[in-house]
Amino acid sequence: MTARVYIPADMLSLALGADEVAKVIAETAKDTDIEIIRTGSRGICWAEPLIEVETGAGRVAYGKVSADDVPSLFAADFLGGGAHKKCLGPVNEIAFLKEQQRHIFKSCGLYAPCDLTSYAANGGFAGLRAALAMNAGSIIDEVEASGLRGRGGAAFPAFIKWRTVMGANKTQKYIVCNADEGDSGTFADRLIMEGDPFLLIEGMVIAGLATGADKGVIYLRSEYPVARKVLEQAITTAREQNWLGPDIQGSGKAFDLSVFVGGGSYVCGEETALLESLEGKAGIVRAKPPLPALEGLYGLPTLIHNVITLCAVPEIIAQGGEAHAKLGVGRSAGTMCFQLAGDIKHGGLVEVPFGISLRTLLDDFGGGTRSGLPIKAVQIGGPLGAYLPPHLFDTPLTYEAFADLGAGLGHGGIVVFNERADMRAQARYAFEFCTHESCGKCTPCRIGSVRGAELLTSSTPDLGLVDDLCDVMVAGSACAMGSMTPIPVQSAMTHFPDEFGVRATQAAE
Amino acid sequence: MTRWNEKTSRALIEETHKRGETLTMALRALVDAFGYVDEAAIAPLMQTFARSRAEVLGVIAYYDDFRTTPPGNHVVRLCQAEACQAVGARELTAHVCKKTGLELGQTSNDGALTLEGVYCLGLCANGPAALIDDAPVAELDTDRLDAKLAALTS
């Protein structure tokens, strides 16, 4: 019987030497009947490269495997699931994975990313098959029933955008996937694009059928070179198998797709800047209205969603919106793909329904810090997200609870900082990042960020002035870049006042 | 990556335009091919996409990826974002800058090495991370990165 070994080929595993591991295993086993399958990642980042072997009792995992481990793995009969110090047991029994409720990531890491047959065999295209037999209105009804909200940060109800684009009376419309999510601590998009690209393609085709768009573009960050290769290959394969093209599966319905690689600008993750960039211009934000749903790419109706939002669609259509709505809490429906990053022992992708607490994520899934030092703060939602101290870690992870804290969930990235973190330096960095990335269109963002960084260079900054500056940026900026930069700054000032010296205004009183 | 040449540059610009794609996509094609946008490509870009010189230069200047000078033989891009900061990216960057005598964004005089910052490679659970000539590396410390840099020059 052929022994099957699964070795991830996502960007992280490659960074940690997975190619070398695969090469040495292939060389060592050259006289053995063995098949090496390069897969996506399971998102168990702390154990990468995590390789799996198929046994009679399911797949057995070996974590943190290096090329040096290969001789001893063979000596321990790892092809038969043998005991070894790197053995993690059956992969589905690893607590980090077992305690999750995976929907979007249910197949990620199971098979080669561009293996369309395996994708279909694991429930792939069930949503699209169903959608091909439905009318546009009923597809959108299911999206409405699901309670799906945009996963990119704004959490806007998806169906409203869909219905707006569907109702727009134009012959050419577009589906644009925003894969330019550049928040630090965020890698769910990368993992799914590198591991299960047909899911994104399927979601985009369904969105096209529902809204009447026959063209799609994935705007991909240039920082994700592996995702680019995988997506381009997956699109070619989907075309060959007639899941993209002028007559999808003989339905007479058309949809095609291309990948656009960005230029390394964070602001292009803002939807109107992204459209400008696609049109060949600098990524400078547009005033809204008009909404992109009515006047988007080239002035035509455009549905823009982030990667994870589109990846949620196939299951919603296959199983009905109600099933999705039952997951989560209240208006935070479905699952959220959290990402544990920074100084964390068990970092990686954690997909769970909305509503669990930050503490559960950090302690039960994350296992505390990698360094062993106490946690001082976490930043949630990327460079525009709040810094929160441990006494707030019991907050349930829902859009509503975080809005009450003046924070957001953003894209679900959670960066852990240990007690050595310098919170004034982190606050100053928030301004510096804004200076670097500001598109320059509006003054509060372009100049406010420079002045803010200057103010926080002092060890006893005038915090009253910083607050005033933040008020101006919140009220007067054209997009989230300027209006949300104050969130990390002011949350750090509120929760860690000791590190900002005495408030100058208080001292004057 | 190959050395810049006029013929390939013109062909890339033409192909992009024929596919109905835009100026940013042509710039991406040039940077993918040559590592930068040569001054001699500006006029064909202006003609092909019907844009003024100021517009073309403005678009190039806006994006970090679109250089106008050739990068070094090796390009090291160190992640500067928060998740890597939380595990020592600032210290690692200071170490590399000191060791190479370069600031982020600079190329060595002999053209051997370009050092750049990058804002998030999506390797955030395993930082500090970097891209070395398009090969990702993670879980870096000074020893591991020094070894990678030494391997470039040997």
> How does the average pLDDT of chain A come out, rounded?
95
B65 closest CB neighbour out of A264, A382, A416: A264
Structure tokens at A432: 């510096």
At B25-38, the pLDDT tens digits run: 999 999 999 999 99
Residue in chain B closest to A266 (alpha carbons) equals: B119
| Contact across the interface for B138 and A16, Cβ inside 8 Å | yes
A139 shares its domain with A228: yes
Asked if residue A106 is part of any domain, the answer here is: no
| Contact across the interface for B120 and A421, Cβ inside 8 Å | no
The interface pTM score, or ipTM, of the predicted complex is: 0.96
| Contact across the interface for A187 and B122, Cβ inside 8 Å | yes
Q: Last residue of some domain: A392, A414, A436?
A: A414
| Contact across the interface for A340 and B125, Cβ inside 8 Å | yes
The helix (H) or strand (E) run that includes residue B135 is strand B135-137
Asked if residue A263 is part of any domain, the answer here is: yes
CATH at residue A153: 3.40.50.11540
- How far apart are the C-alpha atoms of A256 and A246, rounded to whole Å? 8
Whether residue A43 is predicted with pLDDT greater than 90 in this model: the reply is: yes
pLDDT, residue A506, reads 52
Whether residue B2 is predicted with pLDDT greater than 90 in this model: the reply is: no
A280 closest CB neighbour out of B24, B64, B121: B24
Contact, A239 vs A184, CB < 8 A? no
| Contact across the interface for B138 and A15, Cβ inside 8 Å | yes
A337 shares its domain with A353: yes
At A163-186, the pLDDT tens digits run: 999 999 999 999 999 999 889 999
Asked if A66 has any chain B CB less than 8 Å from its own CB, the reply is: no
| Contact across the interface for A11 and B124, Cβ inside 8 Å | no
Measured between alpha carbons, how far is residue A143 from residues A124, A168, A316, A333 in Å? 18, 18, 7, 12
The helix (H) or strand (E) run that includes residue A24 is helix A18-28
Asked if residue A105 is part of any domain, the answer here is: no
| Contact across the interface for B62 and A415, Cβ inside 8 Å | no
At A116-167, the pLDDT tens digits run: 999 999 999 999 999 999 999 999 999 999 999 998 878 899 999 999 999 9
Rounded to an integer, the average pLDDT of A52-65 is 96
CATH at residue A25: 3.40.30.10
**What's chain B's length in residues?**
154
Q: Between β-strands B130-132 and B135-137, what pairing exists: parallel, antiparallel or unpaired?
A: antiparallel
Q: What are A293's strand-pairing partners?
A: none
A399 shares its domain with A293: no
CATH at residue A371: 3.10.20.600
A214 shares its domain with A311: yes
At A331-381, the pLDDT tens digits run: 899 999 999 999 999 999 999 999 999 999 999 999 999 999 999 999 999
- How far apart are the C-alpha atoms of A265 and A283, rounded to whole Å? 8
Whether residue A320 is predicted with pLDDT greater than 50 in this model: the reply is: yes
| Mutation choice for A interface testing from B13, B36, B126, B139 by most A CBs within 10 A | B126
Asked if residue A103 is part of any domain, the answer here is: no
Q: How far is A343 from chain B (nearest CA, A)?
A: 6
Rounded to an integer, the average pLDDT of A44-72 is 97
B86 closest CB neighbour out of A279, A280, A417: A417
| Contact across the interface for B135 and A14, Cβ inside 8 Å | yes
A88 shares its domain with A123: no
Q: Counting beta carbons within 10 angstroms of the beta carbon of residue A292, is it exposed (0 to 12), middle (13 to 18) or buried (19 or more)? A: buried
Q: How far is B112 from chain A (nearest CA, A)?
A: 22
A8 shares its domain with A157: no
Q: How far is B50 from chain A (nearest CA, A)?
A: 11
Q: How far is B116 from chain A (nearest CA, A)?
A: 12
Residue A486: count other Cβ atoms within 10 Å of its Cβ: 28
Residue numbers in A near B68 (CB within 8 A): none
pLDDT, residue A508, reads 45
Residues of B with CB under 8 A from a CB of A: 22-25, 27-28, 49, 51, 58-59, 62-66, 81-87, 118-127, 129, 131, 134-139
| Contact across the interface for A12 and B123, Cβ inside 8 Å | yes
Asked if A437 has any chain B CB less than 8 Å from its own CB, the reply is: yes
At B120-140, the pLDDT tens digits run: 999 999 999 999 998 999 999
Contact, A379 vs A186, CB < 8 A? no
| Mutation choice for B interface testing from A223, A308, A420 by most B CBs within 10 A | A223
Asked if A273 has any chain B CB less than 8 Å from its own CB, the reply is: no
A277 shares its domain with A156: yes
Residue numbers in A near B119 (CB within 8 A): 182, 184, 223, 266, 433, 436-437
Asked if residue A104 is part of any domain, the answer here is: no
Asked if A194 has any chain B CB less than 8 Å from its own CB, the reply is: no
A181 shares its domain with A261: yes
Asked if A180 has any chain B CB less than 8 Å from its own CB, the reply is: no
pLDDT, residue A509, reads 43
Phi and psi at A351, nearest 5°, equal -100, 115
Q: How far is B65 from chain A (nearest CA, A)?
A: 5
Rg (CA), chain A: 24
A146 shares its domain with A286: yes
> Could you tell me the domains of chain B?
6-62 (no CATH), 74-153 (3.40.30.10)
CATH at residue A460: 1.20.1440.230
Whether residue A311 is predicted with pLDDT greater than 90 in this model: the reply is: yes
Domain count for chain A, please give it: 4
Whether residue A503 is predicted with pLDDT greater than 60 in this model: the reply is: no
Residue in chain B closest to A419 (alpha carbons) equals: B86
Q: Last residue of some domain: A262, A293, A325?
A: A325
The helix (H) or strand (E) run that includes residue B55 is helix B53-62
Helices A188-195 and A307-319 sit at what angle, rounded to 10 degrees? 60
Q: How far is A247 from chain B (nearest CA, A)?
A: 21
Contact, A90 vs A60, CB < 8 A? yes
Domain span holding position A189: 116-325
A281 shares its domain with A173: yes
Residue in chain A closest to B23 (alpha carbons) equals: A280
At B90-122, the pLDDT tens digits run: 999 999 999 999 999 999 999 999 999 999 999
Bond before A461 cis per omega within 30 degrees: no
Residue in chain A closest to B128 (alpha carbons) equals: A342
Size of interface A-B (CB pairs under 8 A): 153
- How far apart are the C-alpha atoms of A266 and A248, rounded to whole Å? 35
At B52-83, the pLDDT tens digits run: 999 999 999 999 999 999 999 999 999 999 99
Q: What are A349's strand-pairing partners?
A: A339
Whether residue A426 is predicted with pLDDT greater than 60 in this model: the reply is: yes
Rounded to an integer, the average pLDDT of A417-445 is 95
Q: Last residue of some domain: A293, A325, A357?
A: A325
| Contact across the interface for A426 and B82, Cβ inside 8 Å | yes
A305 shares its domain with A264: yes
Contact, A20 vs A67, CB < 8 A? yes
A360 shares its domain with A232: no
- How far apart are the C-alpha atoms of A443 and A280, rounded to whole Å? 24
